[in-house]
């Protein structure tokens, strides 16, 4: 008896929330947003290298002026994680990565380390 046909499952080049993927994380208690590249995701929480979204414009300006600045490496416990979304272009709305690189005049990989290629449509 022949085996049933297998459904074709497309291969994904990079899992959506794997190390190096840029994300926007919404946290609670206190409520804040953090943008950065995933370093690690585990049952206990998520580690990112990035910046608080409130400092986005200031950070980009400092990078443009070649002032000494570094992205933070942070860990957020899972109980604080409210939402995590991939940083991706949405139609005509640019991703945060695109906005940052335009404002800073510099590639994001220079600051956040090993990150996945940008401009994916999610």
Query: What band does 112 get if pLDDT is binned at 50, 70 and 90?
Result: confident
22-41 pLDDT tens trace: 999 999 999 999 999 999 99
Domains of the chain plus CATH, in order, are 22-109 (2.30.30)
User: Helices 56-64 & 96-104, crossing angle to 10 degrees?
Assistant: 40
Quote the mean pLDDT of the chain: 86
The SS3 call for residue 80 is helix
Buried b (16+ CB within 10 A) or exposed e, 64-95: eeeeebebeebebeeebeeebebbbbeeeebb
In terms of Cβ atoms closer than 10 Å to its own Cβ (0-12, 13-18, 19+), residue 111 is buried
Cα-flanking dihedrals φ and ψ of residue 81, to 5°? Answer: -75, 115
Q: Residue 117 — pLDDT band, cuts 50, 70, 90?
A: low
């Amino acid at each position: 008896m022949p085996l049933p046909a297998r459904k074709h499952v497309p291969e994904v080049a990079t899992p959506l929330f794997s190390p190096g993927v840029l994300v926007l994380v919404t946290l609670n208690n206190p409520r804040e947003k953090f943008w950065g590249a995933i370093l690690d995701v585990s049952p206990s929480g998520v580690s990112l290298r990035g910046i608080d979204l409130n400092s986005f414009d200031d950070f980009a300006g400092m990078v443009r002026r070649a002032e000494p600045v570094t992205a933070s490496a942070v860990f957020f416990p899972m109980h604080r994680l409210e939402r995590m979304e991939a940083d991706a272009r949405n139609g005509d709305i640019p991703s945060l990565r695109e906005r940052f690189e335009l404002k800073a005049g510099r590639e994001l990989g220079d600051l956040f380390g090993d990150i996945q290629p940008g401009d994916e449509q999610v």
